[in-house]
Amino acid sequence: EAGVTQFPSHSVIEKGQTVTLRCDPISGHDNLYWYRRVMGKEIKFLLHFVKESKQDESGMPNNRFLAERTGGTYSTLKVQPAELEDSGVYFCASSWRPHSDYGYTFGSGTRLTVV
């Protein structure tokens, strides 16, 4: 089966611009998660979708971040306007169930650099 796909793999944008990250989960996985790692810090949870619904968005840093999951398939994470502190690697993961006995499958991430 295809894995979790994220694109772009890298994005460099100027402060104040808008960037949209995309994640395609493994087919059939209802649960989709976004995480991010900023420089020198641990990977942190952003939010969790169950199909198209946001189950938990407690990790979203502020209202400049907007996540959507159209029709319960792929998901996008938009940052508008981007700030310097948004730089980092954004990971997407998916699983069949939230308390998966097989854990998550992560994508390779999108490295975002805001200059």
Partner 1 sequence: KQEVTQIPAALSVPEGENLVLNCSFTDSAIYNLQWFRQDPGKGLTSLLLIQSSQREQTSGRLNASLDKSSGRSTLYIAASQPGDSATYLCAVSGTSGTYKYIFGTGTRLKVLA
Q: Which residues bind partner 1 (CB under 8 A)?
A: 6, 33, 35, 41-45, 48, 55-56, 59, 91, 93, 98-109, 111
Nearest distance from C-beta of residue 89 to partner 1, angstroms: 9
Whole-angstrom Cα distance, residue 25 to residue 31? 9
Nearest distance from C-beta of residue 87 to partner 1, angstroms: 15
Quick one: tokens of 109? 């991430």
- 57 or 81: whose CB is closer to partner 1? 57
Bridge-based pairing of strands 110-114 and 88-95 is antiparallel
Nearest distance from C-beta of residue 108 to partner 1, angstroms: 3
